[in-house]
Structure 1
Amino acid sequence: MPQEKPMNMELRLVGHEDDQHNSVIGKIKHLLEEIETTPPPPLPATHSALMGVSNQLLALRDKGFSSEWLVLALSQCDINVSMDELNNILRQALLARMRAYEEKVEISLRRCHVKASARTEFIERGLRNAMKSGEGLQLHYQPQVDMRTGSIIGAEALLRWRNGSEFVSPVEFIPVAEESGLIEDIGAWVLREACTEAKRWERMGLGGHGKGIKVSVNLSVKQFSDRLVGDIHGVLCDVGLSTKLLGVEITESFLAENNSQHLLQTLHDTGLHISIDDFGTGYSCLSRVSALPLDTIKIDRAFIIELGRSPGAGAVVQTLISMAHKLGMNTIAEGVETQQQAEVLQRLGCTLAQGYLYAKPLPASEFISFAKGAPAGPAKQANSLCA
């Protein structure tokens, strides 16, 4: 049986190994420091001259001139260099070029990051000030029309923001609002403002037989919580607006949320009109949509633009319309801009649309003027959460 080493001997051996290890590291560091402070050996005059024209030599290589050709051409100028020496010079020049490019990219990315961060902070600060002062935020309303009659069947409330003298696009400020947590307060403001305006339309006798015009508001996925139903109920009761005159528009990203079906069903049971926006561009599958309590599918403008130009777009739109009808849902075509698109949509079975062919998003006063001149649609029975 082998004799075990005493513990103190093992510790001394380990300590000795550590001392040797540290000694080697110290010698290497000292050698590297000496090398760093020693000037590199001077290049031969020929090599130094070739480094000065390395970019031109690389350009000739890029054009297809071989190293053999370059060596021969240089020899005719009394510059004698071997193939290996030339390739080494060109390799160093290429590495130098790559390092310079990487430095430029890094500097550019840093500048972009700084600018993006500064812009984000600027937008967030402006939104907070707008919510405190009540200035700058405004809703515009885009009519949703029956293409056969021209009557207004609803309006989508779209948020606009003027930050001082600058109009900031929703594409830019909505993500900032979502990331900063401001979207809940902004969403609550939009809901109350839209409902108040819809009640005003009802009192003015706008819409089919003077029964009002349904307004739709967009919900961010960040607003989707258990208290959403109560918040909407509270606003409707405060304003005195029927649930039949309010719709909510969700995007396909809602469908990725675990409790989306329960919350949508609760909203639907109160009588609210629920639409899925930009359909066909995100997460949805037909089986998932068929199980949801949706009233309307909004066909994304990306498909509408291609109508009449791409047979594939027409096939997709027809499939969406057919599916919606079989599920008992309406379809609204978004971004309709030409009469040709409207005619194709009607042939495919879609009769409801919004887009610049009918009207752009309008400030409240201009929307009222537009609605007063629109044909009347059929009357609908109103319902109220507060009855």
Structure 2
Amino acid sequence: MTEQPASAVASFHQAERQETGKPTPSPRPQGFGLSKFSLLGGIGRRLLLNILIFSSMLTLALTAFQLYLDYQRDVDAIERRVEQIRGSYHDSLARSLWRVDLPQLQAQLEGIVRLPDIRLAQVQESKEKTQHPLYVTVGQHQDNAVMVWHIPLEFDDHGRSSTIGTLTIEGTLDDVYERLFNRALVILLTQSFKTFCVSLFILYIVHALVTRHLVSLARLIRGVDLRTPMHVPLLAPHSPASDKDELDQLFEAFHGMQDKLEEAYTQLRQTNAELEQDIAARISAEAQATHLAYHEALTGLANRRMLKERLEHEAPLSERLNRHGALLFVDLDHFQRLNDALGHAAGDSVLLEVARRLNTVRSTDLLASLGGDEFVVLLTGLGETAEEAAHAAHQVAYSIRSVLALPYAVGEQSLHLSASIGVTLFPADGNDAEELLKNVDTALHHAKMAGGNCIHFFQAQMQASAQARHRMETDLREALHKQQFSLAYQPQVDHTGKLLSAEVLIRWQHPQRGWVSPAEFIPMAEESTLILEIGAWVMNSAMAQLRQWGDAGLLPPGFGLAINVSPRQFQQADFVHVVQQALQGLADPRQVMLEITEGMLVVDTDRAVERMNVLRDLGVQFHIDDFGTGYSSMAYLKRLPVDVIKIDQSFVRDMVENPADTAIVKAMLAVADSFNMEVIAEGVETAEQVHRLGDMGCHIFQGYYFSRPITAAEFAARYFGQ
């Protein structure tokens, strides 16, 4: 038969590209990928590899089984040899040991050691017979591949048989392993050579009968041009037409397929061109329809339909995950007046600017436009409680109201607008989309009724709570700016009232509210990150007070200040640097004791220990505050470089009446003693508590029984005589 030219495919593709206007690439070299065929290429290589792998695995398995049988035979031979030793040497060794005939024992043991695979023989006299038992050893003990037998030596003395000692024999498997290795090497080399020869023979047969003809067929297929019919029958060159095998049938099947492909080619190309045009038009129409179905025309924001679908998903999800969210309904106050005065074009430009500003507040949430000047913001993941979510939603609403109050440039005019915002929470106010939209509309209505330019929650208590938290945060920032904070000092003393140290406590005198408890504003500061600034102020102020007392020569030996560190402050990346900066100018860093809670140590114990060790090297001490109320665990306590633990006042307060609290305090003291730590009891208010704690081994106290927290001037006057 004749063979089609190898450039047929290239000419076909070139003609097709000329029709479609596409550039023609450089043609491939003739016979690409096939001229490199060899006996060890393609199927032959994979066949040879599989044969070698299977044969190797089978050879290894049979070799391992044979070696295992040989190993068992050699081990059994050693066991039989030991039994022969037992039968041949037992009586003579027993007599020699009875008579304490050391030369004879030595000779007999040497005879045993000369036996194959025996490396050590030892006779040990029974410890029950004498205080100093006799030992006779021949050979050398080995640690590797050792088999040990202990044979009791019995002697018949006038009809009474008794065990007078033990014969210990140690055998080695070194010779066994060496023989096994040599056998394995011979077997593997022999079998590998056989396997390789058989594999080459099989590979040659497959190449001669199959693969070389498949290569011929591949060359024919590569030379086919569907635009030029091929009328020469495709028969395998090695078989006459009267005696066709499977390969000949394959060649003929390809010839039939060629005819059918030629008929369908033209129709397929025309159909594809029509389909491409139809699909492109349909995709464009569907994309436009989908966008219009879920987006508002003017601003391009999500419309009510998308908002409702998203809300139907987020509201039930927030209830399952216990993560509260909020819905904010934003409406511009008196927007209709602007439309009437300046026209709809100006109104549209203002709405576009409003949409842009809203997108800058929280870009990760869904922002929807309900038409006109009504916008809805969907907020998710605001907090685990409704109060936290209300606070976060109020902050976002406040930011929206602030950013919308900025001037708008419309032509040459500068306009000012305000916004009313209704807020509802989910799942606190419900988890149904329609219900939530109704709730937020009600909240917006109340905001409008209140005169506009305000934020109103669907539930009044949430409104009050959010506003209170917002006022508290604002007041805290102002307190830092106007230096409304002060420090108080509560002494830590022994049972006689002798001053040992003092704890630094922050106080806030609000100009309108008066004294504000730390329990009220510290959690708020922790949430809003203001605790970092407050903590730095406390640390720097306490250090300054220490330096002032030190420069005045007032500090007694060993006196120091304990400064509380918040969890967020301790986890701050530059916490160590902040402390180092505060320590500058201090005469003795050992005067500083940082009080940390248990909870902040279990999040990343390794990091905590690393930071504490750096500061310990400078001389700073560490106290664990409120010990027993958190994650008290020996596992991490033993790793921490802690000097003092403080028993929480909740245990001290009730220990006189509650035996359980007494037991807990005793346990804490025992833990501290085992780790060589000091203990400070907090909240001591009565003499009986002092007496009880002293009896249990606690000798440092802090509480109202000795002194309330007092100012620096009062502290110096009472304890330093100033």
Normalization by structure 1: what TM-score?
0.65
Which residue of 2 is the match for residue 87 of structure 1? none
Which residue of 2 is the match for residue 307 of structure 1? 655
Which residue of 2 is the match for residue 3 of structure 1? none
CA deviations on 1:311-355 (whole Å, 9 max, x unpaired) are: 111111111111101211100000000000000000000000100
Q: CA deviation at 1:165?
A: 3.0
Residue 203 of structure 1 pairs with residue 551 of structure 2: yes
Residue 236 of structure 1 pairs with residue 616 of structure 2: no
Which residue of 2 is the match for residue 358 of structure 1? 706
Once residues 682 and 640 of structure 2 are traced to their aligned partners in structure 1, the CA distance between those partners, rounded to angstroms, is: 21
Native 8 Å contact 2:500 2:558 kept in 1: no
Residue 114 of structure 1 pairs with residue 460 of structure 2: no
CA deviations on 1:226-251 (whole Å, 9 max, x unpaired) are: 311111111111x4342111110001
Once residues 664 and 598 of structure 2 are traced to their aligned partners in structure 1, the CA distance between those partners, rounded to angstroms, is: 17
CA deviations on 1:179-235 (whole Å, 9 max, x unpaired) are: 111111111110010011112222333343xx4630111101111233111111111
Q: 2:478 aligns with which of 122, 129, 133?
A: 129
Tell me which amino acid in the other structure corresponds to 1:131: L
Q: 1:169 aligns with which of 501, 517, 522?
A: 517
Once residues 532 and 470 of structure 2 are traced to their aligned partners in structure 1, the CA distance between those partners, rounded to angstroms, is: 18
Once residues 645 and 545 of structure 2 are traced to their aligned partners in structure 1, the CA distance between those partners, rounded to angstroms, is: 24
Native 8 Å contact 1:206 1:213 kept in 2: no
Which residue of 2 is the match for residue 154 of structure 1? 501
Native 8 Å contact 1:202 1:212 kept in 2: no
CA deviations on 1:90-109 (whole Å, 9 max, x unpaired) are: xxxxxxxxxxxxx9xxxx99
Which residue of 2 is the match for residue 19 of structure 1? none
Structure 2 alignment gaps of length 5 or more = 1-438, 440-456
Tell me which amino acid in the other structure corresponds to 1:163: H
Which residue of 1 is the match for residue 603 of structure 2? 257
- The equivalences for 1:211-360 within 5 A come to 211=557, 213-224=559-570, 225-237=572-584, 239-258=585-604, 259-360=607-708
Q: Which has the higher contact order (CA 8 A, sep 6+)?
A: 1
Structure 1 alignment gaps of length 5 or more = 1-102, 375-387
CA deviations on 1:123-179 (whole Å, 9 max, x unpaired) are: 111111121222x100100001112x3211111110111121321111111111111
Which residue of 1 is the match for residue 532 of structure 2? 184
| CA pair 300-173 structure 1, distance change in 2 beyond 3 A | same
Once residues 228 and 182 of structure 1 are traced to their aligned partners in structure 2, the CA distance between those partners, rounded to angstroms, is: 15
Normalization by structure 2: what TM-score?
0.36
Once residues 676 and 721 of structure 2 are traced to their aligned partners in structure 1, the CA distance between those partners, rounded to angstroms, is: 31
Once residues 116 and 229 of structure 1 are traced to their aligned partners in structure 2, the CA distance between those partners, rounded to angstroms, is: 36
- The equivalences for 1:55-74 within 5 A come to none
| CA pair 372-332 structure 1, distance change in 2 beyond 3 A | same
Once residues 202 and 335 of structure 1 are traced to their aligned partners in structure 2, the CA distance between those partners, rounded to angstroms, is: 28
Residue 140 of structure 1 pairs with residue 527 of structure 2: no
4+ residue runs of structure 1 moved beyond 4 angstroms? none
Coordinate RMSD, CA, aligned? 2.5
Once residues 213 and 109 of structure 1 are traced to their aligned partners in structure 2, the CA distance between those partners, rounded to angstroms, is: 55
**Structure with greater Cα Rg:** 2
- The equivalences for 1:30-49 within 5 A come to none
| CA pair 206-151 structure 1, distance change in 2 beyond 3 A | farther
Tell me which amino acid in the other structure corresponds to 1:227: D
User: Secondary structure, in 3 states, of the residue corresponding to 1:304?
Assistant: helix
User: Secondary structure, in 3 states, of the residue corresponding to 2:459?
Assistant: helix
Q: How many residues end up aligned between the 2 structures?
A: 268
Once residues 586 and 664 of structure 2 are traced to their aligned partners in structure 1, the CA distance between those partners, rounded to angstroms, is: 41
Tell me which amino acid in the other structure corresponds to 1:117: A
Q: CA deviation at 1:291?
A: 1.5
Tell me which amino acid in the other structure corresponds to 2:475: G
Once residues 276 and 268 of structure 1 are traced to their aligned partners in structure 2, the CA distance between those partners, rounded to angstroms, is: 14
User: Secondary structure, in 3 states, of the residue corresponding to 2:573?
Assistant: coil
Q: CA deviation at 1:305?
A: 0.8
Which residue of 2 is the match for residue 23 of structure 1? none
User: Secondary structure, in 3 states, of the residue corresponding to 2:470?
Assistant: helix
